Each structure stands twice: as C-alpha cells, then as structure tokens.
A and B are shown apart, each in its own frame.
Chain A
Amino acid sequence: MIKKLITYFLFFFVVAGVSAEQTKFVMSAPNAIETGKQFRLTFTLNEQGNNLKLPPNLTDNFDVLMGPSTGQSTRMQTINGRTTTEVTFSYTYILRAKEEGTFEVRPASIEVNGDVFESNSLEIQVVKAQSKSQPQQQASPQGGDSQAPQSVDLGGDNLFVRVAMNKRNVYRGEQIIATVKLYVSPDIPVSGFDEVNLPTFEGFYTQDIEIPQQINFTREVYNDRIYQVGILKKTVLFPQQNGKITVEPFSMSLLVQQRVRPRSFFDDFFSGVRTVRATVTSGPVSVTVRDLPTEPANFYGGVGNFSISSNLDSENVTTNDAVTLKVTISGSGNIRLIRTPELELPTDFEVYDPRATDNVQTSNNGVSGTKTIEYLFQPRFEGDYTIPAISFTYFNPANGRYITKTTQEYTLYVEEGTGEQSATMINNLRREEVQMLGQDIRFIKQGNPSLHEKGYTFYGTPFFYGIYGGSALLFLILSFVYRKKVRENANAALMRNKKANRIANKRLKAASGYMKQNNNEAFHDAILKAFWGYLSDKLGIPVANLNRESAVASLQQNNVEEQVIADFVEIIEQCEYARYAPSGGSEARHDLYKKAVSTMTRLEKQIKR
C-alpha cells in the first residue's frame, strides 16, 4: 500500500516537473563586431510569445536594418517510448553598429500567456573596421568557390598563440590564471591541429581548469582586431619560487585550408583548397614573484583568502573514547599547499596523526574549496582538559598582509570509563613509565644556608684533636680514681677479713660466759651473732643481705666442704629454735658450744682469703 502511494507520489512529481518546464527567453549576438558591418541579434523562446519589445536604447548605438524575421523549429524526441516535443521560436534582427565602443544591450521582454519574460543582457564590443577588403573577405567563405581565390598571410597578426595571464606581479603562492589562447583571423579557415606542445609551467604548482574537449572559437577583440579565439588550456598557477619566472615559448602546428593563387590558366582549373601546415610559436611570458614578508608564527603556507572553523564532536566523553576535532579551512587560494596546523593537546592524550582531506574546485575564478583536517585523540585519564584554539595565519595578497584567524577553544570533560574499560585500561596504561616532558636542573635549595668560613673544616682544628685528647685524659683520670677507690675498698675488706676470726672468737667466749651463767637466750644470741658477723666480714656480704640460703650459696661458691656447711646450718637452726623455745639443759648448750667452736675453726681454715 505504502509502496503504491510512493509510486503515485513520485509520478505526480514527474508530471508536475514536466508541466512546470521553464520558459526560456534568450538573446544572443556576437560579442565583437566591426563598425559598419551587419550582424544578427537573435531571440529564442521555447514557447509561443507575442508582443516582443526590443531592448530600450538599442537604437542609440545600432541601426536596425531588418527584422524581425521569425522562425519556428520543432524537435520531437522519443526516449524509452516517451515522446517529448520541443518547439523553439526565434526572432532575428539584423543590426549594424554605428560607432566604436563597448555597449550594453539591456534585456528585451516578451509576453507569454499574459506573463512578461525578460531576456538576458549582452555586451557588444564594436571595433573599427579593418581594411577595405575585409568585408569581401569576410563574405568569401560564405560566398563559395565562385569568388576569386585569395591567399591569406599565415604569419604575424593573422595567426598566433599566446599565454594570457591575469596577473604579472604577484606574491609567492598567489594564484594566477593562465590561459593558452589561439588567435585566428576570421579569414583563415583552420581545419585541425597537427601537433600541440602546450607549455609546461615550470616553477609553478599548477591546477588545470576544465574546459570543453572541443575547442569553441569565440570572437574576441585583441589589439583592435577581431579574432576567432580558441582556448587551448586554462590553468591556475601558484608560483613556488621568488624572482622572475619565465614561461618558455611553446609551439603548435595547425592545418589551414588555403586557396591556391592561380599562376596560370590551368592552375585555375585545378584550383581548390590546399591544406597547409602552419607552425606558430608563442612569445615568452614572464611573471615577477615577490617573496612574502617575514613569516609569522602559525603561518602554514596559505596564500589567498581563507576562513577557519572547528567542530568538536563531543565535549562530554569517557576515558579512552576517541574524540575528533574537525577543523575546516575554506576559501580561495593555494588550499592544497596549506600544511596541517599544529594542535597542542594535553600531553597525556593518545594523539593520532591528523588526517587532511581537500575538496577543491577549479573554476575561472581560480582555485577555491575547503581543507578539512581531522585531529583524532583519546583522553586517557579523567579530568577537565582544554583543547586550545588553533591560530591560523595566512597571507592575503590583495592587501599584502598576514591575517590571523582563530578557532574556538573547547573544554573537554572526561569521565572515568565503565568498569570493563578501566580494567583493560589498567593493563594498557597504568604500567606506563613516567613520561618525561622536559629536562631541567633541580631547583635551588632553600632554608638555612649553613654558611661557614671558607676552607674551614672541623677536621684538623685544635678543637677536633682536643676532643680526642680530652676524652682520653678524662678516661685516664676516671680510671685512676676508680682504681684507687677500689683498692681502698679492698683494703677495708681485708681488714675486716683479718679481724673476722678474732671477733668471732670474742663472741664465742662471751657465749661461754653466758653458758656458765645459764643465760639461755643470750647464749644462743651470741653464737648466732658470732656466725653471721663472721660470714659477713669474711665473704664481704652486708649483714642485712645475709640469710641462710644466701650464706649457704656463698659458702658453696667458696668451695667449703658440704659437711661443714651442713654443720653450720644445723647450728643456726638449733640456735634459732632454742632462742624461743628453751629446751635441753646445760649439757646441750655445752655440746652446741663445742660444735660451734669446731665449725668456726674449720670454716676459718676452708675460706681462703
């Protein structure tokens, strides 16, 4: 259903298109004529019209000799079973120019079905008539063979080629339009080309303008003469070096049909057209190229007139997204020769080589078009980055100045990518080494300069040696003092050691006195005192630190016999026991006393001091 509808719809459009064919009303005339010569002014119309009004002020400059003679032509065409009919109506006037000059023929108008249509306007150049013979010569090709055959000079002004340049004094890189033209006097019938060596424009970067394959001859006035002019080649030139560049002469051969002048009666009989080869050579043409003024920064070789714009495809991206900044340089000039402007991206971006594409049209006005540069990069880490503006400087030859145009600055907001992406990113990226961006010396040291006298070192100063000597001296003094004191202490101990036995015997004697008095407590006390005091003096242990265990340990250390120690312990135990629980009689005390005296004697023997 929908398909059907679309078909109908399309069909409707086709029909509408056919019916809405435009009315064309065209005025045509040769663009160059001579004074006093007739020419045709033709109007063509693709529909029936009436009430043709000639352009106003036409008669000011031209005489209307005849007209209008109307004509009608019909053309039927059958293509794929469809027949189209094209009817053309023409109105022809024959005019003659009154005087020399360039005249504008304003549009004419005509009524078609009540609507008024206007034609195009024309410009006609009128030049002075050539020599008197010209009108006859002009007529001769049309007049046929019956006229007297004549030969035309093939050299000089009648047949030549030249390279026309629209500018002769340019800046380097400024475009010049060069046209290779063949000038043929209207009297010379050219039948073809034999050999064409078109110029090679050395020293230029060239770009050809497309012209029709078939050479169309147009009438043109050059040096006040009318020529049939054929354009052989049209090229846009960009000079690539400074100074005078000369386009070398080039030559071409033409085949010209020439009537042979009869030299005799018989010749006349055979006379006809003879094809003659004529070689024409152009003159050298030179162009003066000036160097550009001192190139500023951001000059990328552009000469002409340009504009620049940029477009960032997305401002909010995640890490590792590819971002494209598209920069478009458009205008006319040497657009192909413009180098890629530099874009300073943040250094931790993955940056790919920019890709440039040219879209250039070459027309009669020169080269124009666009250059699109795509900068592709991938932000690796999140954050806000600034994509700086690109400054593009070009040289405008029209005013001889450098002009700088700048794109917009962008801010790129980069967010952390999704988990998967960051997982792969860790593999790829987090292992990157630290990127060295530059190298410089380390910064100065701050804080306390810790200055000292020049050449001063602590080593070698008297103070330095003094510390050694002083500490050694101090050590000696200290050790001397210590040693002396130790000796004194040792003497004191010796004294006590020596006295120990005497004191012990005295105490034991006192004990025997108490024994005789039957003073039980004092007796045992005296024996205990005798032993503790003896051990304290003999072993050098303060009385306060003495108890049974330490005494035994100390005695064992001094290699006293176990039997003696055992006796000693027994006496002590007995005494301590008897002190508080009086038992036994004088017999027991007597035994104890005897035992104490013998133990004491044995101790005295065994403890060597």
Chain B
Amino acid sequence: MKGNTIYKLSFTVLGLFLFLGTFAQDSTQVLWEKANAYYTTEEYQQAVSAYEQILLEGQESAKLYFNLGNSYYKTGDINHAILNYERAKLLAPQDEDIQFNLELANQFVTTEIDELPQPFFVRWRTRTVNLFPADTWSVISIGAFIVFLGLLGLFLFSRRTGFKKLSFWFGILAIIISAFTYSFAARQTKKIAARNQAIVFCPRVTVKSSPAETGTDLFLLYEGVKVEISDSLSTWKEIRLSDGNIGWLPDSCIVKI
C-alpha cells in the first residue's frame, strides 16, 4: 500500500517534468519559427529579439547562434554578428556556412592581424579536432571503445589463430582511436567551457602594458577583433592577439565568446 503511493507520487512528478519540458520545447520551437519568419521578411530587428528570447530561456545551439549572427549582420551590428558567429563556430567547428559568414563579417573589422604561423603538426591537429564538435567525438570514442571490447572478447575466446591475430591488431587500433577521440572531445569541451576568447566591442581601445590607466600605451585595437584572454586582475584583462602581442585592457571593452 505504501509502495503504491510512492509510485503514484513519482509518476506525478515525472509527468509534471515531462509536461514542463514539452511546454518549454514548444515555446522555443514557436519562437524559432517566428524568428526565422521575421528574418525571411527582412524584419531583422524583430528576428534579433526573438532569437535572443530563446537564448534567455537557457537554450543554445550552433544554428541558433548562426541565425542570430545573420540577423545582427543584416541590422548592421557587425560586432554582435561576429560574436554570435564565433559562438556558433565553437559549437559546430566544421560548419562551412558559419565559416563563410564569419569571414565576410570579419572584412568589416578595421584591425588586421597577421596570425603567427604555427608548426604543421599543430595545424593538422587543430584541423582534425575541428572536424567534429565535442559530442560527435564523444560518441565516436564510445563506439571505438565498445568495438575494442568486442575485439578483445574475440581475441580471448576464439580458437582460430587467424581470428586471434586479426582481432588483436584491430583491437589495438580501436583502443587507440578511442583514446584519441576522447582527447579530441576533451579538447573541444574545454574550448567551450573555458570561454577564454573574446570580441572587442569598444570602437577604439588602447591596450596598456599593465592593468592600470597609467600603464604605457602599447597598441590600438578597433572593434570586432578576436582576442584571447590569458589573465585577469580586478576589472582588467590580459589579452593575447593571434600575432602574439600581449597587453591589458578594461574588461568592459570585451565580450566573451
């Protein structure tokens, strides 16, 4: 009798959660459709606010950031467009459309930075890691691990020597793949979690040598530039450009990706 009530209660709670979940899903879905319709009819300002509404509900996705970036681009707000494209790129590094629009938006940025050349293996690794987002790498890693277990079983219990050999080598391959993809997933997740990149939003900002107004002026940055945050002190952030320059600027001038 007592067990029965507990069951009932838990079912009710579960049902409530499911209901709320579907409700939230529905409302964001409606918002999504509405925002896309606004964009199609070229009412970009409304589209922006509708997409932002979805973000306020705590939801995100590469597509959402991409569309929001597009809407900002069309309203002429290049900084926000770049910010959202970068966010979309974090979640879907392999997406060509995001890359294309980001490059187009970056043409409006005044500051041009010559990136430091990286060693070839770093470039290869970056390219390989960026083939898939974190979740895809995770799934691949799990899949490879399960394949490895299967091959291990085959190796252990097979009587045929041919099977044993084959499963041994493939098993080694599978566990290596699993390990690598695991590290890729970790890398991608770290990138999302770390949020150590930012976009400069001040139209013009002087980068200082120390975290104080009295610091020596090092160089000028114009809005839209992507920087890497390497340190922070009270309201100041140490930033690092892709050409290797390092300096401090007030954190009110940048928005984290």
Known: A439-B104, A458-B138. A475 touches B149 (CB 8 A): yes
Verify B64–A479 contact, CB threshold 8 A: no
**A18 on the B face (CB < 8 A):** no
Verify A457–B36 contact, CB threshold 8 A: no
Verify B145–A479 contact, CB threshold 8 A: no
Give A452 Cβ to nearest chain B Cβ, in Å. 6
Verify A459–B138 contact, CB threshold 8 A: yes
Chain A's interface size range is 20 to 34
* Stretch of A30-38, A136-144, A466-474 that contacts chain B: A466-474
**B97 on the A face (CB < 8 A):** yes
Residues of B within 8 A of A443 (CB): 70
Give A317 Cβ to nearest chain B Cβ, in Å. 37
Closest A residue by C-beta to B193: A455
Known: A467-B142, A468-B145, A471-B145. A450 touches B188 (CB 8 A): no
Per the bound structure, the CA–CA distance linking A445 and B47 in Å amounts to 13
Per the bound structure, the CA–CA distance linking A445 and B153 in Å amounts to 45
Verify A441–B101 contact, CB threshold 8 A: yes
Residues of A within 8 A of B188 (CB): 457, 459
Residues of B within 8 A of A468 (CB): 142, 145
**A79 on the B face (CB < 8 A):** no
**B111 on the A face (CB < 8 A):** no
Verify B137–A459 contact, CB threshold 8 A: yes
Verify A452–B59 contact, CB threshold 8 A: yes
Residues of A within 8 A of B193 (CB): 455, 457
Verify A450–B137 contact, CB threshold 8 A: no
Verify A453–B138 contact, CB threshold 8 A: no
Interface residues of B in 58-114 (CB under 8 A from A): 58-61, 63-64, 66-67, 70-71, 73-74, 97, 100-101, 104-105
Verify B189–A450 contact, CB threshold 8 A: no
- Find the residue from A450, A451, A464 having the highest chain B CB count within 10 A: A451
Verify B138–A454 contact, CB threshold 8 A: no
**B54 on the A face (CB < 8 A):** yes
Known: A441-B73, A442-B101. A458 touches B64 (CB 8 A): no
Verify A445–B152 contact, CB threshold 8 A: no
Residues of A within 8 A of B54 (CB): 449, 451
**B139 on the A face (CB < 8 A):** yes
Residues of A within 8 A of B32 (CB): 449, 451
Give B4 Cβ to nearest chain A Cβ, in Å. 30
The tally of residues in B whose CB lies under 8 Å from a CB in A reads 43
**A155 on the B face (CB < 8 A):** no
Main secondary structure of the interface of A (DSSP, over half): loop
Interface residues of B in 117-161 (CB under 8 A from A): 134-135, 137-139, 142, 145-146, 149, 152-153, 156-157
Verify B142–A452 contact, CB threshold 8 A: no
Verify B28–A444 contact, CB threshold 8 A: no
Give B136 Cβ to nearest chain A Cβ, in Å. 9
Which of B36, B60, B70, B185 interacts with A451 by CB under 8 Å? B60
**A460 on the B face (CB < 8 A):** yes
Q: Interface 1/0s, chain B 159-202, versus A by CB < 8 A?
A: 00000000000000000000000000110110011000000000
Verify A457–B134 contact, CB threshold 8 A: yes
Verify A457–B104 contact, CB threshold 8 A: no
Interface residues of B in 232-247 (CB under 8 A from A): none
Verify A452–B60 contact, CB threshold 8 A: yes
Give B60 Cβ to nearest chain A Cβ, in Å. 5
Verify B64–A449 contact, CB threshold 8 A: yes
Closest B residue by C-beta to A486: B157
Residues of B within 8 A of A439 (CB): 104
Verify A457–B63 contact, CB threshold 8 A: no
Known: A441-B73, A444-B67, A471-B146. A454 touches B58 (CB 8 A): yes
Verify B142–A444 contact, CB threshold 8 A: no
Per the bound structure, the CA–CA distance linking A338 and B65 in Å amounts to 51
Per the bound structure, the CA–CA distance linking A439 and B108 in Å amounts to 13
Verify A446–B101 contact, CB threshold 8 A: no
Give A489 Cβ to nearest chain B Cβ, in Å. 13
Which of A458, A479, A483 interacts with B135 by CB under 8 Å? A458
Verify A472–B60 contact, CB threshold 8 A: no
**B248 on the A face (CB < 8 A):** no
Per the bound structure, the CA–CA distance linking A434 and B15 in Å amounts to 57
Known: A451-B61, A452-B59, A454-B59. A482 touches B100 (CB 8 A): no
Which of A441, A451, A454 interacts with B105 by CB under 8 Å? A441
Residues of A within 8 A of B70 (CB): 441-444
Give B182 Cβ to nearest chain A Cβ, in Å. 8
Closest A residue by C-beta to B47: A444
Per the bound structure, the CA–CA distance linking A483 and B156 in Å amounts to 10
Per the bound structure, the CA–CA distance linking A196 and B118 in Å amounts to 81
Per the bound structure, the CA–CA distance linking A444 and B66 in Å amounts to 7
Which of A442, A450, A457, A483 interacts with B192 by CB under 8 Å? A457
Residues of B within 8 A of A441 (CB): 70, 73-74, 100-101, 104-105
Give A233 Cβ to nearest chain B Cβ, in Å. 58
- Listed by A's residue number, 24 A-B pairs whose Cβ atoms lie within 8 Å are A441-B73, A441-B100, A441-B101, A442-B100, A444-B66, A444-B70, A444-B71, A445-B66, A449-B54, A449-B64, A451-B59, A452-B61, A453-B60, A454-B55, A455-B192, A457-B188, A457-B189, A458-B139, A459-B186, A459-B189, A460-B189, A471-B142, A479-B153, A482-B157
Question: Which residues of A are interface residues toward B (Cβ below 8 A)?
Answer: 439-446, 449-455, 457-460, 464, 467-468, 471-472, 475, 478-479, 482-483, 486
Other A-B contacts than A444-B66, A459-B188, 10 sampled, CB-CB below 8 A, are A441-B101, A442-B100, A443-B70, A444-B70, A449-B64, A451-B60, A453-B60, A454-B58, A459-B138, A467-B142
